[in-house]
Structure 1
Amino acid sequence: MKEEVQSEEAKKKAIQVEQQRQIAEMEKRTAAERARAKATEELLHKTLPPSIADRMISGERQIADRFDSASILFADVVGFTPMTAQMPASAVLEFMNFVFAHFDAIAAKHGCERIKTIGDGYMAACGAPIECADHAERIARMAMEMLEDVALPESITEHLPPNTEFEIRIGLHTGSITGGVIGTGKLAYDIYGDAVNTASRMESHGEAGKIHVSEEFAEELRRSGGELPITLEERGELTIKGKGTLRTYFLNPSTK
């Protein structure tokens, strides 16, 4: 009888040990899954706009949106190729990282979103991926601040050619666009449409140290710009490849 009781207790103890082992394994798997989920969320927030990352985390797998009115900015470092031709690769990367981080901070300040960089080019938007009524005003403020003098660190300037001036050229346009996430393993948020091409043309046909804008952007800014300390200087009509003849303007700080 005593042996039967001991045997029964041994079985119960073995069952308890096995249950504890299974619970420990389950907790370990749960912790690992949570860690993977957290890492995925962090990666999405590093590579995508916050609002888009949140939508993907909540379960959306195909993100494509139409924006009837948004403003797009293109900026380019003037003379980048000759400026950096003799610079060490590490200095070139430090230069661009510094400049783009500076632009990113300005974009965040004004509620705009960096879309991507292409070489020494920088592309941003306002009104997408989050719609807003004052997108032209916000991106105009961003562009004006981007033109303000920026002090490059000595670790960069020591590698630049003598008497180098850091200047950028900016183009702005307003129109309808499509925005969405592309890719499978490597995700990216991008925007598409004729408005994007026009904004790019505004930049490429602009001038160093100036903000070149389309008539559509100028009209949107007049409609919603409020009391911005800026003026629109009519540049006249330009013949632009693929666009025909366009009336454009320079966005200047107000002298009042």
Structure 2
Amino acid sequence: MSSDSFFHSFRDVGLSANDSEEMRLNKSLLIFATGLISAASMLWLLLYWQLGPRFSSTIPFIFQLLLTGNLLLYFKTRNFTLFRTTQLGLFLFMPFVAQWSMGNFITASGISLWGLLAPIGAILFFGVRESLAWFIAYLFLTALSGFFDFYLADMAAMEASHVPLRTSIFFFALNFAAVSSIVYLLLRFATLEKQKLQERMVEAHALLQAEQERSERLLLNILPGAVAERLKHSNQTIADGFADVTVMFADIVNFTKVAEGLSPQQVFSMLNRIFSSFDELAEAYGLEKIKTIGDAYMVAGGLSQEREEYSDAIADLALAVRDLLHRDFEVNRMHLEVRIGIGTGPVVAGVVGKKKFIYDLWGDTVNIASRITTEGVPGMIQVDETTYRRLRDRYDFYEPQTLYLKGKGNMTVYRLAGKRSDGGTGSSLGAVPTEVTG
């Protein structure tokens, strides 16, 4: 195992799958700090024995045992709150105990500076607010040591000390360098881990944003934009009444008979090509597709304020659908015909159900548009009288026809021929050509 792999394994050994990212960082930092301080204290003791007098190794050895024992206890209990408190307590008190056993600031080469790691660690492991108590404790112990050194130090004992001045200066520098290095490494490690956490959060946010946009697109493919917004921000039932809406149905002629000789995949492919083309046309004319019902296609205008002349837009869409099937045999490979019916009047619109919901329209206007479609002639566009009166100044119509509609009786319908180009005040083209009615 490489040293880098060992480091990561050691750092991550106390982590839990349920830990938050911040908790994982705190645990890794404290384990990392424990390893650094243990290694540095062993190196300190080895150098002191090489360059200085043979002080007792009891206190540094006890410090190592306490650090290691506390770490092993944490690995067993996974009680991080207890672990970080006791470990920081060792970081704070043991350097002062070691200094007091050696004499004073000078003879101990300022070893109490190591206690500064406790309040610094508290900032990282507890938080800024909680670290204040640790820093005050460090200042108190430093002041207490200074008080005893100033008033009680035995100058004769200091002069009789076997610690050479050069050795004392060396360990002053060593202590400052070691503590500074550990502080730097801890802060560097914390910063790098927070950067990685930030990158993961940015990546997760980007994925969430992409998923949200995908969900938005899916929702807008099911519901009108305004309805989708209301549904996202409210759990209330969505049902609206509209005084004037133009509804269009397009029904494929003889679809059942044509589909009998095709495989399911071929049937799906055929409908998908045709209805996808209808979707593109409806979007181009600013109209709202409502749904497909088997081989029938339903679209409406007037459900929003995006386009005022929605009846004209429906008429233009109907003509475009008819012409598309007549000319584009890449879309209409089976040379299918459609019946188209248009009705105008009041409707009720809303979202039905809580699961697999749809946005739908109800009312007499919808029924009329559906029935004049069913009773229509292949290749023709039939409209009710309300729609005819609204369009007659800008569109050409054949002479009116009388149809019997179930539940409505006899009704006059008008067959749309095309859009006028002469700007006249209305026109009737006479009887429907025989080649159209068939």
Aligned position for 2:224: 49
Aligned: 1:193 with 2:363? yes
Structure 1 140/81 Cα, relative in aligned 2: closer, same or farther at 3 Å?
same
* 68-77 vs 28-37, greater mean Cα deviation: 28-37
Q: Larger % of helix: which?
A: 2
Aligned position for 2:396: 231
Q: Larger % of strand: which?
A: 1
| Matched-pair contact (CA < 8 Å) for 1:179–1:192 | yes
| Matched-pair contact (CA < 8 Å) for 1:112–1:125 | yes
| Matched-pair contact (CA < 8 Å) for 1:74–1:200 | yes
Aligned: 1:87 with 2:262? yes
* 190-199 vs 1-10, greater mean Cα deviation: 1-10
Instruction: Write the mapping of 1:131-150 to structure 2, written as runs, cut at 5 A.
Output: 132-148=307-323, 149-150=326-327
How far did 1:34 drift? 4.9
Aligned: 1:178 with 2:353? no
Percent identity reads 31
SS in 1 for 2:272: helix
| Matched-pair contact (CA < 8 Å) for 2:402–2:413 | yes
Cα displacement string for residues 115-137 of structure 1 (whole angstroms, at most 9, x for unaligned residues): 00011100110112447542211
Measure the CA separation in 2 of the matches of 1:75 and 1:55. Answer: 29
Measure the CA separation in 1 of the matches of 2:271 and 2:414. Answer: 28
Aligned position for 2:412: 247
* 108-117 vs 231-240, greater mean Cα deviation: 231-240
Task: Determine which structure has more spread, i.e. the larger CA radius of gyration.
Answer: 2
Structure 1 33/133 Cα, relative in aligned 2: closer, same or farther at 3 Å?
closer
How far did 1:202 drift? 1.0
Stretches of structure 1 that go unaligned for 5 or more consecutive residues are none
Measure the CA separation in 1 of the matches of 2:210 and 2:415. Answer: 51
SS in 1 for 2:398: strand
Measure the CA separation in 2 of the matches of 1:43 and 1:136. Answer: 27
| Matched-pair contact (CA < 8 Å) for 1:52–1:129 | no
1:141 corresponds to which letter in structure 2? D
Aligned position for 1:152: 329
| Matched-pair contact (CA < 8 Å) for 2:245–2:346 | yes
How far did 1:248 drift? 1.1
Cα displacement string for residues 89-115 of structure 1 (whole angstroms, at most 9, x for unaligned residues): 111111000000111111112221110
SS in 2 for 1:147: helix
Residue correspondences, number: 240
Aligned position for 1:10: 121
The counterpart of 2:382, out of the listed 206, 212, 231, is 212
Cα displacement string for residues 15-58 of structure 1 (whole angstroms, at most 9, x for unaligned residues): 366xx87xx59x8498376565444323312322233223434x
1:8 corresponds to which letter in structure 2? P
Does 1 or 2 have the higher relative contact order (CA < 8 Å, sep 6+)? 1
| Matched-pair contact (CA < 8 Å) for 1:70–1:125 | yes
* 144-153 vs 187-196, greater mean Cα deviation: 144-153
Measure the CA separation in 2 of the matches of 1:176 and 1:131. Answer: 18
* 237-246 vs 123-132, greater mean Cα deviation: 123-132
SS in 2 for 1:207: coil
- Normalising by structure 1, report the TM-score: 0.81
How far did 1:9 drift? 3.0
| Matched-pair contact (CA < 8 Å) for 2:286–2:306 | no
2:416 corresponds to which letter in structure 1? L
Cα displacement string for residues 168-192 of structure 1 (whole angstroms, at most 9, x for unaligned residues): 1100110100111222232321111
How far did 1:235 drift? 3.0
Measure the CA separation in 2 of the matches of 1:137 and 1:10. Answer: 73
1:74 corresponds to which letter in structure 2? F
Structure 1 69/39 Cα, relative in aligned 2: closer, same or farther at 3 Å?
same
| Matched-pair contact (CA < 8 Å) for 2:279–2:289 | yes
| Matched-pair contact (CA < 8 Å) for 2:372–2:405 | no
- Normalising by structure 2, report the TM-score: 0.50
